[in-house]
Structure 1
Amino acid sequence: MNIGDKAPEVLGINEKGEEIRLSDYKGKKIVLYFYPKDMTSGCTAQACNLRDNYADLCKAGYEVIGVSVDSEKSHQKFIEKNNLPFTLIADTDKNLVEQFGVWGEKSMYGRKYMGTFRTTFIINEEGIVERIITPKEVKTKDHAAQIL
């Protein structure tokens, strides 16, 4: 997915088992942020920064949607534990991470594995990708300011 591309209509299933569609957010800009894993330090810092600045993001016309390959149940726990005001897509079939090109080989301590690259896509009111904050650019503790 690149700047100028149209985002897919069906984004996936959220923590409540509901289908999330692009058209559900007509007239809003979407912050679609992909993160590696619920309950990990970086992902929690990022989610909490978005939570703490959620009112400002909404005021600026944004709706926040998080995506990871964790299950609905894992997302429910993550939302409850951190009091998150936005929905999380459970991309367990890896459909969305692959469509957006954020799934690939990573390495930690010399071990190679497949995972999600922390990436944020800003999608405009027409469903077009307007901006991409790449894995090297994402600041987990100050992510809302980067978006705004």
Structure 2
Amino acid sequence: MLVYQSLVASVIVVVGLFASGEWEHLGREMDGYELGKVSYVMNLVGTAISWQVFGIGAIGLIKDVSSLFSNSNGVMGLPIVPILAVVFFGDRMDGIMVMSMIFAIWGFISFVYQHKLDVAMLKAQRNSVDGDEVSASSPLNAPIARVGG
């Protein structure tokens, strides 16, 4: 699944690159990169590898835990990127960035709180079965048939 997504995304980006004519400016962009051509290529390769590792990790979370947990981890990363952009690149923090960060944090906190409620409900159910609150229709309260007496 990840390979097909990456393949389709790559084809769309390459078609867009050639259709817009931006491919002619790639050489100038690489030459104008402050740290040099090798660093430019290493940056692109590192970014591509990082996205693949992220995708594999997300699929691993879906397989081992749940898709909701994987999605909530992805959403929790959303506020981190704008904060890092402000700190390291001097980017401006505008209202849209603040709202997206608030919603991402709110969604993650809602997921954690719902998980806490689910665990508490499961513990309460276990305690009611293990404790004295066993219902009359439970097999544990069924009469025992005695043989011979």
- Report the TM-score when normalising by structure 1: 0.22
Greater strand content = 1
Structure number with bigger Rg? 2
Higher relative contact order (CA 8 A, sep 6+): 1
